[in-house]
Amino acid sequence: MPPSRTTAHRPPRTVRSRTTVRGTAVAVAVLAAVMIPGARAADAEQRVDVQLAYTCDLLSPKERVSLRITATFPEDAEADRAIRAEEVTTTVTLPDAARSRLAERGAVEVSGTTRLTVAVAQRQHTAEALWSGTAAQAVTVPASGDLTLAATGAVPLVKAGDIGELTFTAGALAFGLSARTADGGPAEPAAVPLTCVPAPGQEALLATVPVTGTEGSASPVPTPTPMPSTDPGRQRDRAPGLDVAPTPPSGTATADVPPCVGDTVNPFAMVAYLTGYSNVAKLKGASEVPVSCTRLIDVSKKIVPKPDGLHLLQRATGELDHLGRPQMPPAPATFLAYGFMPTTATMELTQLAPMTIDSDILLAKSSGLTLIRVPLVLRLRDVRVNGVPLDVGPNCRTTGPLYSKDPDPAQDTRDHMVLTGVLKGPGNGYQLVTGGVLTATMTIPPFSGCGVDEDLDALFTSAISGPGNYLKQVQAAPCASGNPRPDARYCTADHQPVKVPKPER
């Protein structure tokens, strides 16, 4: 089905030639959307209104649903300048058969969230952008006919590194449907995750944007070796040519606060912001850890009697989320290497496996301890010494995770860092559901893979690696994103945290 377009200031045009999107897409960029220079509104626009058929796994065998995508794209763009689609709405229409099954389960009202994968391509370069949407209001389940939900939300910025046609093509759709009964309670099941793919034999091109400028004007960025991943489907690497970075949705994100959209399908899901300072002992300096997003799942709670009273034992898991990657945002660091050599670098902390959060709270005194275990690898890039670039290559990182001495001897495996949160009394200290201060002392392992023309491993190992490094983080109160009706004190309309912490030294 060909997409229809209208243009604000020029006649409509259809572009037939475009780059084929490869199966493996490049990863999202490391820059937050509002930090990409040169984002601009185009002088002329393309109005896009595309209707596509999707095949979804619903409550029973696969069925067809309809997806309508409306948006405004710029008519053209310049190389190395960020652009984005505006006024984006994704409207999902479920067939009468799906509506009927919801009604049979007592559902009278539904809401939903969408995550549309959009393939972005230019020449041999490809990338994937996630367009997240949330239905602003719940929709009444009709007595008969189709059920339609319209969602709006976060849309990424895209920056092409060279001239040539930039294409946007609709891909897979993840659709989370939440249903409630007449008494306001959740229907059974309360949350229905739908996985949808475009039906074959249709044109899924949304827009083509010509990119002008000087050919090869942008400096290529080398592709690093992929980091180990607990989710093979997520993209971890970065390649030259295209940068994709989520636009901060309204109500939450600013230049210093990245998008942080929570899981709306799992009823035990939460999402929270954290920030802080890290001290590297050998560098005798502190670096601010930018505001980061953490996606959490409350796994279990149980009350256990102990000699001093009843204890609440809570277990949760979590993953960092920066532009779709399990990492903290890249942090600039300035220090005196060896005490006299002015050095700047960008540091990235990437998570290798799920973090675990274990809390033990004495209920009578509202006191206790929380231990967060997380494996993080440190990578260095963009290194300058006395203002002169030092080419460390794409793979300059620690040989293993940063690690702390674990208070549990059985878990003292030197492959993870341990952050500790202390609750001293009601409202005094750290709890997962309220936030607070977390601290850790860790060892930085030796470096490997540093240097292109020469081996710089020993240089960075002697300058940075070793014990006694300190991290102090502050977690804000989380948003219970899995709640179909999230608390406005803690969640935005699109299920992002309202509370943003300030770093403490």
Label each residue of 29-62 as H, E or C. CCCCHHHCCCCCCCCCEEEEEEEEEEEECCCCCC
What domains does the chain contain, in order, with CATH numbers? 4-212 (2.60.40), 248-475 (no CATH)
Instruction: Average the pLDDT over 22-33 and give the result.
Output: 23
Residue 136, pLDDT score = 57
Is 407 a residue whose pLDDT tops 90? yes
Of 172-186, 326-340, 360-374, 474-488, minimum mean pLDDT range: 326-340
- pLDDT band (50, 70, 90) for residue 132: confident
Question: What are 335-360's pLDDT values in tens digits?
Answer: 655 555 667 888 888 888 889 999 99
Give dist(CA 151, CA 256) in Å, integer.
26
Region 8-28: mean pLDDT is 28
For residue 81 the two structure tokens come to 């300048």
Q: Phi first, then psi: what are they for 95, rounded to 5°?
A: -70, 165
Give yes or no for residue 390 having a pLDDT over 80.
Answer: yes
Q: 261: closest CA among 322, 207, 170? A: 322
Contact 275, 474 (CB under 8 A): yes
CA 278 – CA 337 distance, rounded (Å): 16
Instruction: Output the six-digit token pair for 22.
Output: 């490869």
Give 483's strand partners. Answer: none
Exposed/middle/buried for 229, CB within 10 Å: 0-12, 13-18, 19+?
middle
| Residue 422, strand partner residues | 369
Report the C-alpha gap between 471 and 417 in whole angstroms. Answer: 10
Residue 247 identity (one-letter amino acid)? T
d(CA 289, CA 328): 8
The residue with greater pLDDT, 164 or 21, is: 164
- pLDDT given for residue 233 in this prediction: 30
Q: What local confidence, expressed as pLDDT, does residue 191 receive?
A: 60
Q: What is the number of alpha carbons within 13 Å of residue 226 lying toward its C-beta?
A: 13
Instruction: Provide CB contacts within 8 A for 131, sequence distance 6+.
Output: 88, 90, 114, 115, 116, 117, 118, 153, 154, 155, 156
* Least confident segment among 29-33, 159-163, 293-297, 425-429: 29-33
The confidence score (pLDDT) of residue 503 equals: 87
For residues 31-43, average pLDDT: 29
Provide CB contacts within 8 A for 69, sequence distance 6+. Answer: 48, 49, 50, 52, 88, 89, 90, 91, 116, 170, 206
Residue 22 scores a pLDDT above 50: no
Tokens standing for residue 186: 């959740």
Per residue in 228-272, pLDDT tens? Answer: 332 323 333 333 466 665 444 434 444 468 888 888 878 888 999
- What are the residues facing 373 on neighbouring strands? 356, 418
Average pLDDT, the chain: 77
Residues written for the chain: 505
Residue whose tokens read 């709670």: 301
pLDDT at 234: 33
Report the helix count and the strand count for the chain, using DSSP H and E: 2, 30
Per-residue model confidence (pLDDT) at position 252: 44
Strand, coil or helix: 100: helix
Q: Which two structure tokens, joined as six digits, stand for 354?
A: 């799920």
Tokens found for residue 463: 């300058």
Neighbours of 55 (CB within 10 A): 15
Euclidean distance between CA atoms 487 and 482, whole angstroms: 11
**Per-residue confidence (pLDDT) for residue 20, from 0 to 100:** 27
pLDDT at 9 over 50: no
